[in-house]
Amino acid sequence: MRKMNPEEIPAFVNDVVATGCNITGIAGVGYIIGDADLPDDRLEEVMPKLSAITEGYGKRDHLLEEITKYLVSIGRSYPPPEMQ
């Protein structure tokens, strides 16, 4: 399986957001993709899209810290940047 490159982080985040899922960085922990927040009918529609995105970008474990920092830098984090 391919490994995602650091330069792909913004595109990865944009692709996830385009599905309607909220991707959130959790400072010092990692990130989550909020697909569980979707209603069941939307979840059924979105899951194949998320699977294609994650498969297309490949492994990301080695970029956990970088993805989290990027999400925090664009305001997609918990706690929100103003509370950190």
| Separation between Cα atoms, residue 22 and residue 35, nearest integer Å | 7
pTM value?
0.88
**pLDDT per residue over 41-81, tens digit each?**
888 888 999 999 999 999 999 999 999 999 999 999 987 65
| Separation between Cα atoms, residue 72 and residue 53, nearest integer Å | 21
Structure tokens at 6: 């650091």
Structure tokens at 2: 């391919």
| Separation between Cα atoms, residue 23 and residue 26, nearest integer Å | 10
- For position 78, what pLDDT does the model report? 86
- For position 2, what pLDDT does the model report? 93
**pLDDT per residue over 31-43, tens digit each?**
999 876 778 888 8
Q: Domain ranges for the chain, please list them.
A: 6-75
